[in-house]
Amino acid sequence: MERIEDFTKELQRKDRDYLWHHMSMYKEQSSPMIVSSGEGAWITDSNGNRYLDAMSGLWAVNIGYGRERLAKVAYEQMKKICYVSLVQSHEPAITLAEKINHLLDDDYMIFYSNSGSDANEVAFKMARQFHEQNGEASRFKFISRYRAYHGSSFGALAATGQSLRKYKYEPLTPGFLHVAPPDNYRRPKGQSIELYNIERALEIEEKIRWEQKETIAAVIMEPLITGGGILIPHPSYVKEVKRICEQYGVLLIMDEVICGFGRTGKFFGHQHFDIKPDIITMAKGLTSAYLPLSITAVRKNIYEKFKGEDGISHFRHINTFGGSPAACAVALENIKILEEENLIQRSKDLGEQLLYELQDLLELSFVGDVRGLGLLIGIELVEEKISMQPASKERVDKIIADCKANGLIIGRNSDTVEGFNNIITLSPPLCCTDGDIEFIIAVLKKVFRAQS
């Protein structure tokens, strides 16, 4: 055991010397957990400690860790052909594009990239070029929501409504506007959720009018705001936004990077609301994070506007590694596993159980709200319930640390909006066993009650 700990300490020393961590404050003597293996919903660190990963990495490992089927598929595909630029084509890309159309139950053209940020950048470029070639060159602006996250690149970050993510990187790509999201927990006292959501949607229509409707290219939104705090709209909100977009000739871009591939209890989050977006972006659960891959799915009628023969009407965008043969093959196998093991229904059922059991936390003075859809759960922490003042960073940090000390990895909406990073987030793998869910519930109740 001592030799294992010495090995870990040496790795941590090298980590401090050479590795710049994502989203992490600089700490001279920080000792990050070094993950060495994983199976199902569980990961093991270099000292042999096991943790249930209730965040699926970064909301991504939907079918769980250690799936040998996916490793074998990638291996076999790499033996056949390791790389094909999608200036050409290959069978896994074609087969996956067909499968995505089947899952969406509509006619979309599929453009491959590597990440959610990439997919959204592609969507913005497509939307602007579509309007230009549709005779409406004045349409260049995009409307998003505050608290939403759409990526880290300059365009995707401009769409993001989280001020702490943008600070010191501005000015970003111009043309991005924001409106308030539906935050049902903080709606005006006495107002119904449905009326509140409709009013929030109408703010988008108001923004379109005030900005001059001929200048608006698209609205981008997640089916529910995830990293910004698990903000779940009433169905009336999403349907009203779709109506507004259609009325004003504005495209609707649905960001399914987190909500897609079963996370919400349906294959795609927007399917809860019975709408058909114009453009859909997806990543993360597409391969369950086994290989990088993202998709921008575009309705056929939009694609038709790129068919001109003037030499500049085609979509002039390329991605070296987007749609790699191995990644597409892994995505296809990942979808097979989701279907064969009925993990979409499993996500719905486990999510309902988790949400029901965690309602007990509302008895605590510092828990303001517990909400969720499928295996996306948010627990909003407050200093006290009447004012709804967000909980301190220290309280949130302690809960996360105490859960980790008890073998449970949970998340929070970090670096979003100053003063509102107070929401504990859960996004466990869809393959969780009944015992895994019971473990999550037991640890959370133990840790939360110890705080009171």
Model pLDDT for residues 198-238, shown as the tens digit of each residue? 999 999 999 999 999 999 999 999 999 999 999 999 999 99
Model pLDDT for residues 312-356, shown as the tens digit of each residue? 999 999 999 999 999 999 999 999 999 999 999 999 999 999 999
Return the pLDDT at 99. Answer: 98
Whether 419 shows a pLDDT value over 90: the answer reads no
Greatest distance between any 2 Cα atoms in the chain = 70
Confidence grade of residue 7 (pLDDT, cut at 50, 70, 90): confident
Tokens representing 239 are: 């349907």
Confidence grade of residue 3 (pLDDT, cut at 50, 70, 90): confident
Model pLDDT for residues 151-184, shown as the tens digit of each residue? 999 999 999 999 999 999 999 999 999 999 999 9
In 234-387, which ranges are continuous DSSP H helix?
235-248, 300-303, 325-340, 343-358
Whether 28 shows a pLDDT value over 70: the answer reads no
Return the pLDDT at 1. Answer: 64
Q: For the chain, what percent of residues have pLDDT higher than 90?
A: 91
- How many CA within 13 A on the CB side of residue 263? 36
Model pLDDT for residues 239-261, shown as the tens digit of each residue? 999 999 999 999 999 999 999 99
Return the pLDDT at 389. Answer: 96
Model pLDDT for residues 293-303, shown as the tens digit of each residue? 999 999 999 99
* CB contact set of 262 (below 8 Å; sequence gap of 6+): 62, 285, 338, 343, 344, 347, 374, 430
Confidence grade of residue 24 (pLDDT, cut at 50, 70, 90): confident
Please state, rounded to an integer, the average pLDDT across all residues of the chain: 96
Burial 98-132 (b: 16+ CB within 10 A, else e): ebbbebbeeebbbbbbbbbbbbbbbbbebbbbbbb
Residues 300, 304, 306, CA angle at the centre, nearest 5°?
Answer: 125
* CB contact set of 54 (below 8 Å; sequence gap of 6+): 41, 408, 409, 410, 411, 426, 427, 428, 440
Whether 29 shows a pLDDT value over 70: the answer reads no
Whether 388 shows a pLDDT value over 90: the answer reads yes
Ordered by where they begin, the domains of the chain are 33-63+342-451 (3.90.1150.10), 68-340 (3.40.640.10)
Whether 434 shows a pLDDT value over 70: the answer reads yes
Return the pLDDT at 158. Answer: 98
Return the pLDDT at 263. Answer: 98
Tokens representing 70 are: 């996916």
Whether 32 shows a pLDDT value over 90: the answer reads no
Whether 27 shows a pLDDT value over 90: the answer reads no
Return the pLDDT at 17. Answer: 87
Torsion of CA 196, 197, 199, 200, to 10 degrees: 120
The answer to whether 259 and 222 are in contact (CB under 8 A) is: yes
User: What mean pLDDT comes out for the span 379-408?
Assistant: 96
Return the pLDDT at 6. Answer: 86
Closest alpha carbon to 77 in 96, 99, 101: 96
Whether 189 shows a pLDDT value over 90: the answer reads yes
The answer to whether 281 and 303 are in contact (CB under 8 A) is: no
Q: How far apart are the first and last CA of the chain?
A: 36
Bridge partners of 52, per DSSP, are: 42, 408
User: What mean pLDDT comes out for the span 381-395?
Assistant: 95
Q: Which residue's entry shows tokens 């096991």?
A: 50
Return the pLDDT at 399. Answer: 98
Q: List Cα–Cα distances, 68 to 75, 82, 280, 330, in angstroms.
A: 10, 19, 30, 11
Model pLDDT for residues 37-50, shown as the tens digit of each residue? 999 999 999 999 99
Confidence grade of residue 265 (pLDDT, cut at 50, 70, 90): very high
What is the model's pTM? 0.96
Model pLDDT for residues 70-120, shown as the tens digit of each residue? 999 999 999 999 999 999 999 999 999 999 999 999 999 999 999 999 999
Amino acid at 284: K
Torsion of CA 365, 366, 370, 376, to 10 degrees: -160
Closest alpha carbon to 271 in 235, 240, 245, 221: 235
